[in-house]
Structure 1
């Protein structure tokens, strides 16, 4: 149902324009916040997931090797103590 009152028609146009402007401002604020967050995170020393997984695997391998060497050393010490 359309209104014949020009005041209501103008008011409706103004409200629609204001809603569009507010929506645009909201999008722009989100974009700016996202960009600031990216800049903030870029300044920090983070590693990628791939780098983290590679270092984690290297640490696990080093730990397993250290455990194996300790077991060998314990066996050698046990033989020396039994012989001496």
Structure 2
């Protein structure tokens, strides 16, 4: 047999309502935080991985070409020095 105490029933209802409110506030705070992070990161200029890899490959090719040209210039300078 269960006794119906109106004070306990009211306290239980109050606790349930408070738990629901806390859950809602937590959810809203989480969403607001996500939105702020998205706004902060959205204003920054990030490049995609594909763009980064493309520029990295271009820089590697340019470095190789510069090394080859540097070796060729050194060879030509050596030929000129040998003729003198």
Scaled to the shorter chain, the TM-score interval is: 0.7 to 0.9
Aligned pair 1:35/2:35, yes or no?
Answer: yes
Q: How many residues align?
A: 83
Please report the TM-score for the alignment, with normalisation by the length of structure 2: 0.83
Could you tell me how far 1:55 is from its partner in structure 2?
0.9
Q: Distance in 2 between matches of 1:25 and 1:74?
A: 72
* Higher RCO, 1 vs 2 (CA within 8 Å, ≥6 residues apart): 1
Q: Distance in 1 between matches of 2:76 and 2:35?
A: 60
Structure 1: gaps spanning 5 or more residues: none
Residue in 2 that maps onto 1:9:
9
Could you tell me how far 1:54 is from its partner in structure 2?
1.1
- Give the secondary structure class of the aligned counterpart of 2:40: helix
> What root-mean-square deviation, in Å, do the aligned CA atoms of Structure 1 and Structure 2 show?
1.6
> Matches of residues 47-62 of structure 1 in structure 2 within 5 Å?
47-62=47-62
- Give the secondary structure class of the aligned counterpart of 1:47: coil
Could you tell me how far 1:72 is from its partner in structure 2?
1.1
Could you tell me how far 1:36 is from its partner in structure 2?
1.5
Q: Distance in 1 between matches of 2:46 and 2:60?
A: 21
